[in-house]
Structure 1
Amino acid sequence: MARVLARARALPALWRFLRRSETLVTTPTVTYVIQTLGEEGLFKQALAAFYRMKQLHCKPDVRCYNAVIAALCRAGWFRKARFLLDQMELPGARCPPDSYTYTIFITFYCKRSLETGCRKAIRRRIWEANHMFRRMVFNGYTPDVVTYNCLIDGLCKTYRIGRAHELFDEMSKKGCTPNRVTYNSFIRYYSAINEVDKAVNMMRDMVEREHGKPTSSSYTPIIHSLCESHRIKEARDFLVEMVEGGHVPREFTYKLVRNALDCAGEEGLPEEMCQWIEDGIDARIKQVMRVKPLMRR
């Protein structure tokens, strides 16, 4: 009920319900409320719910701290979020942070760096993400593949490929196996700067090392880069390889390759394959249209 009221943004009714149900309210209940308020963009109310826990006779745990820190970072209130982290890191703190706490900071630092067009702001946010990563390691926490992926993706999108490769090599040394998300960050980077051969090598390395199987997210940037480089035959081959792997390309990618083949006078795609792709695209559109009315509610 508390989560329903939070989603409906009925805040007065939410606080009344929590006060009347003090005997039933637990720490997970308040955590879900904070998480929901943060997702709805009610950041001040999420922070207020965190500080009201004492009135409800609840004590925050690490999941509760992570929920309010995520809400604050989503709002860009990093100073307040770091204040909570400093409290968690105090010697003898009842609720010390975990690896996910630091991952939240790294994720939102990288996201915020991409939302600004100011180079100085980008450098600042990426520096803070790297600093938080080192702070995490210094405090004795082991980064997992999600932490590495968040930082590597942010570095690749801000064209700091040297540091991204350092982290990629560090993963192997520390026994943290990269996955498809890790490789896709490099594939998108090399495709964006028109070094598509390196992107292809990254995808082939992923398959050879058995770190994952390429999906449409892996093939799409490579195909687009090949079309921009006028390597139409190779783009066609990759599209065929993608379809044979059971993946339906995006409508834009499919039309891009077909138009490029027609303009270059090259052999087109087989009719059976074209029909299978078009049926898959239609099925995807119908699925999205069934979901959209639910999202409006």
Structure 2
Amino acid sequence: MVEYGCLLTDVTVNVLVGGFCKDGRVEEALRFIHEVSEEEGFYPNQVTFNSLVNGFCRIGDFNDALKIVDLMIEKGFDPDVYTYNSLISGMCKLGEFDEAIEILQQMILRDCSPNTVTYNTLISALCKENEIEAATELTRILVSKGMLPDVCTFNTLIQGLCLTKNREIAMELRLKEALMLLKEMELSGCARNVVVYNTLIDGLCKSRRVEEAEEIFDQMELQGVSRNLVTYNTLLDGLCKSKRVEEASQLMDQMIMEGIKPDKFTYNSLLHYFCRVRDIEKAADIMQIMTSNGCEPDIFTYSTLIGGLCKSGRVEVASKLLRSIQMKGIVLTPHAYNPVIQALFRRKRTKEA
């Protein structure tokens, strides 16, 4: 740039350093800083140091990241919220939560106030590790410090609460907390998005609380939140598993009216229900509708229908379907073959099996 008569300003240098660091090329960034320092008299500033800290954290080199922090302090620059957030984010990505909390404590001791990004980073990492109690406690600390949780905080917590891996009783408690959080979002004027609602509907359906899931589904329209394919599929699957197939079929009609095209998951939920209750004619109808609407059956579709046919005693039809699928070049899993093999063995047709 200098060769072409362009002056290197602090802003220009920092933009280039930031680009190197975001691309994981931190060593190149350091060489570039060294060159412009010697040739152009550039002196690294707060932005430069923060870019380097962020760059080292991105590549998981925390020793060098902390050395840069020490250097910036030595040069008279105090680490700011961006510096600490980079360190905390990097530690969380590696699962080093104790170290991340330690950095948070150092941050507070140095009179650098954490922001919602700081807390959201930690809350998200804790939720991913199923440390929901710790994430909830951190949210309480956030509120006690006068910071209102934002939509990201609520989304993360609700997802964490609904996707808990704990036992059924724990799941019930977590769902209760998630529903309370939804109410808190409403009271605090925090916008709720489709992800929040979808997560709650999924959690309620998995807990067989489909009526409550329907209430959340209805709330979405009242709150002006557009329902998407995931919303419909989740509730439709919940209705099918609750043996409310008529309502599930009506829901599919509703989604089509709203311009949302059913996908494999939609059809497979209905098909799985009809095969489970051994209503093969309706299952076949669903598959026919599926293909006529341009939605190709997948391995799950075929496996489910083959299993349903065998359970209904229609082994010949299942065998014929299996052969036709093989002729199409579709590779099925052993799960698809097992019902046919078992049915043939029960009929003592071992050669065919």
TM norm. shorter chain > 0.5: yes
Superposition deviation, residue 237 in structure 1: 2.5
Superposition deviation, residue 219 in structure 1: 1.1
For 1:21-170, list aligned pairs within 5 A: 27-28=116-117, 30-53=119-142, 60-73=149-162, 74=164, 75-76=171-172, 77-90=174-187, 93=189, 95-113=190-208, 125-170=209-254
Larger mean CA deviation between 16-25 and 129-138 belongs to 16-25
Taking the aligned partners of 1:45 and 1:154, their CA distance within structure 2 comes to 30
Taking the aligned partners of 2:177 and 2:233, their CA distance within structure 1 comes to 25
Q: 2:318 aligns with which of 229, 235, 248?
A: 235
Taking the aligned partners of 1:184 and 1:150, their CA distance within structure 2 comes to 12
Taking the aligned partners of 1:3 and 1:56, their CA distance within structure 2 comes to 21
For 1:246-261, list aligned pairs within 5 A: 246-261=329-344
The one-letter code of the counterpart of 2:178 is: A
Superposition deviation, residue 25 in structure 1: 6.6
Task: Work out whether residues 43 and 71 of structure 1, in 8 Å CA contact, stay in contact via their aligned partners in 2.
Answer: yes
Distance change (3 Å), C-alpha of 1:229 and 1:68: same
Superposition deviation, residue 230 in structure 1: 1.9
| Corresponding residue SS for 1:52 | helix
Distance change (3 Å), C-alpha of 1:43 and 1:232: same
The one-letter code of the counterpart of 1:13 is: E
Taking the aligned partners of 2:320 and 2:116, their CA distance within structure 1 comes to 55
Taking the aligned partners of 2:335 and 2:292, their CA distance within structure 1 comes to 29
Match of 1:215 in 2: 298
Taking the aligned partners of 2:260 and 2:351, their CA distance within structure 1 comes to 44
2:288 counterpart of 1:199: no
For 1:9-28, list aligned pairs within 5 A: 11-20=97-106, 27-28=116-117
Task: Work out whether residues 227 and 235 of structure 1, in 8 Å CA contact, stay in contact via their aligned partners in 2.
Answer: yes
Superposition deviation, residue 87 in structure 1: 2.5
Task: Work out whether residues 304 and 336 of structure 2, in 8 Å CA contact, stay in contact via their aligned partners in 1.
Answer: no
Superposition deviation, residue 136 in structure 1: 1.2
Larger of the two Rg values belongs to structure: 2
Q: 2:259 aligns with which of 161, 169, 175?
A: 175
Match of 1:225 in 2: 308
Task: Work out whether residues 233 and 266 of structure 1, in 8 Å CA contact, stay in contact via their aligned partners in 2.
Answer: no
Distance change (3 Å), C-alpha of 1:252 and 1:87: closer
Task: Work out whether residues 123 and 135 of structure 2, in 8 Å CA contact, stay in contact via their aligned partners in 1.
Answer: yes
Superposition deviation, residue 267 in structure 1: 8.7
| Corresponding residue SS for 1:107 | helix
Distance change (3 Å), C-alpha of 1:26 and 1:201: farther
Superposition deviation, residue 29 in structure 1: 5.5
Distance change (3 Å), C-alpha of 1:56 and 1:13: farther
Superposition deviation, residue 82 in structure 1: 2.2
Task: Work out whether residues 7 and 37 of structure 1, in 8 Å CA contact, stay in contact via their aligned partners in 2.
Answer: no
Provide the TM-score with structure 2 as the length reference: 0.63
The one-letter code of the counterpart of 1:70 is: Q
Superposition deviation, residue 32 in structure 1: 4.4
Superposition deviation, residue 6 in structure 1: 5.5
Provide the TM-score with structure 1 as the length reference: 0.74
Taking the aligned partners of 1:216 and 1:26, their CA distance within structure 2 comes to 47
Give the superposed CA RMSD. 3.0
Distance change (3 Å), C-alpha of 1:33 and 1:79: same
The one-letter code of the counterpart of 1:215 is: D
Higher relative contact order (CA 8 A, sep 6+): 1
Superposition deviation, residue 17 in structure 1: 2.4
Task: Work out whether residues 159 and 189 of structure 1, in 8 Å CA contact, stay in contact via their aligned partners in 2.
Answer: yes
Work out the number of aligned pairs and report it.
255
| Corresponding residue SS for 2:207 | helix
**Structure 1 stretches lacking a partner, 5+ long:** 114-124, 270-297
